[in-house]
Structures are given as structure tokens and as C-alpha cells.
Structure 1
Amino acid sequence: MATGVGLLAVGACAERVEAPYDRGVCFAVELGAEGEPPTFNKVADDQPQIEHCAARLEEVRLRFLRMGGTRNEITGAYHGQYIFIDRAGVWIGKSLEGARFIALARTGDGRLAVPGAISRDESGRPVGVAAPPEPVPG
């Protein structure tokens, strides 16, 4: 029985697909059909940070939507990590199936920003443009 459990564990690990680690290269990931491995398509070279790759992927997502596409989500890869872009923002994870962590959130007008930099109104909804600072008397 222990051998069977061990074989199942090895089989489950074998299906995990590692994101490519090509220095500075941003990939779009097309998930394969059931049992098929994903396809990694190069989007951009010379991307200095994962946020830049996320920006390139967001451009691809918006371009497809403007051409009549209906997919609001896109998956990418950069330096061995996966990038997931959806209506809420940009998420980063080590695997396609594992935990994801927010990297960039959408502002009220749909732009992407660092989550702590987003202004919110009384209800907690994001505000697209922060109010100008109050003038200093004097």
C-alpha cells in the first residue's frame, strides 16, 4: 500500500509544468487540452521585471478584446513564475494550480497599480483618480 501511495505522489508531481526561466523573456501561456502540456509563446524580450511582463500581457489581453475576443483572463510566465491577469488585477504564482498572490490591483478606472497605492471611497470601492491635495493656507 505504501508503494501505491508513493507512486501516486510521484505521478502527481510529474504533471506539474515548470514555467520557463529565460532571462528577461515574457511568455503568454496557452493551456492545453486535458492531459496536454501548456504552450509558451514569447511576447517580449528584455523585460527587466515581472511587472513589465505583466504590462505586456495586459496589452495583449486588451488587444484581443478590441478585436472582438471574449476572454477576460490571460496567463503568462516570467523567470520561472506564472502571471495571472483577470478583472481584479495581476496575480503571481509558482505553479498553474497552486496559491496565487496579488501583485497589482485594478483602480476604479481599470488601470493597474500597487494595491497599497489605490485610493478608496467610504464604501471601499477603488477611486480612479485621487483628489488633489488641499491647498496650504498662507
Structure 2
Amino acid sequence: MMRAFSLLTVLAAGSVLGACAGGVEAPSEPGVCYAVERGEEGKAPTFNVVARDQSQIEFCAARLEEMRLRFLTLGGNRREVTGAYQGQFIFIDRAGVWFGKSLDGSRFMALARTGDGRLAVPGAIEQEPVGPGQ
């Protein structure tokens, strides 16, 4: 009886882990920056090379931001871009740049937009002092 319970526990844990691992993984080729085109419902996304020989994820984000701005100047209306770099996803929107391990999971902010739309490290953006006598 105990052996059957242990076997069921292992099988249940394996199916839960398998369900989590079923998501789309970002390509992990060193130094290659990709733009990600999400597929239609039920279809896999497409990864298109934007730049090679990028030494850091922030440089890839800069290439994706350049691409986004270029499309906007050509009359496009897409304000959000998704990319990938060495196993991580990059999300660019009106608030800034976010990194995440999956397309639909949690993200953390890497770069925030300044008042004039440029990108900067969040802690580097100076705020106007607010308070009495300021």
C-alpha cells in the first residue's frame, strides 16, 4: 500500500512539473537577439533574428527598441515588442523594458522610460523632491 502511494505521489509530481515545462522556451544561442512573433491561438511563436554578436541582454533590448521605433516612423501602430536573448524573454512597452523566463510568467523591470521616452535604469531616474519647504 505504501509503495503504491509513493508511486502515485511521484507520478503526480511529474505531471505537475511536466505541465509547467510545457511552455515555449526562448532560444539560448549566445549573442543572438530575436524578435518574437506570437503565433495564433495554439500555434508556436516565430523567432526572427534581429542582431548577432550582442554581448548583453540590454544591448538586445536596445536593438528591439530601435526596431519598434523604426516601424512606428514607417506608419506602424504596434507599441509593444517581444524579444528573446539567451534563454530569456524581453518585453518592451510604454512603461519600459521587462525581462522574464517565460512568455506568460512573471517579469521584472530592467529599464524604465524617462519623461522624454528614453530608457534608463530605474534607480537612475531622479525624482523632483516633494514635501514641505521643497
TM bin, normalised by shorter chain, reads 0.7 to 0.9
- Counting aligned pairs with the same residue, the percent is 68
Matched residue type, 1:33: E
Residues 122, 89 of structure 1: alpha-carbon distance in 2 compared, 3 angstrom cutoff: same
- Distance in 1, matches of 2:18 and 2:76, equals 36
Residue 51 of structure 2 corresponds to which residue in structure 1? 44
Confirm whether residue 13 of structure 1 aligns to residue 24 of structure 2: no
Moved over 2 A (4+): 5-15
Matched length: 123
Confirm whether residue 116 of structure 1 aligns to residue 123 of structure 2: yes
Which structure has the bigger radius of gyration?
Answer: 2
Unpaired segments ≥5 residues, structure 2: 1-7
- Distance in 2, matches of 1:23 and 1:10, equals 27
Higher relative helix content:
2
- Distance in 1, matches of 2:80 and 2:22, equals 23
Compute the RMSD of aligned alpha carbons: 2.0
Confirm whether residue 34 of structure 1 aligns to residue 35 of structure 2: no
Alignment deviations for residues 16-42 of structure 1 (CA, whole Å, 9 cap, x no partner): 011000100000000000000000000
- Distance in 2, matches of 1:43 and 1:36, equals 22
Q: Which has the higher contact order (CA 8 A, sep 6+)?
A: 2
Residue 88 of structure 1 corresponds to which residue in structure 2? 95
50, 75, 79: which is aligned to 2:82? 75
Unpaired segments ≥5 residues, structure 1: 124-138
SS in 2 for 1:116: helix
Confirm whether residue 63 of structure 1 aligns to residue 70 of structure 2: yes
What's the CA shift for 1:9? 3.5
1:118-137 aligned within 5 A: 118-122=125-129
SS in 2 for 1:32: coil
TM-score scaled by length of structure 1? 0.80
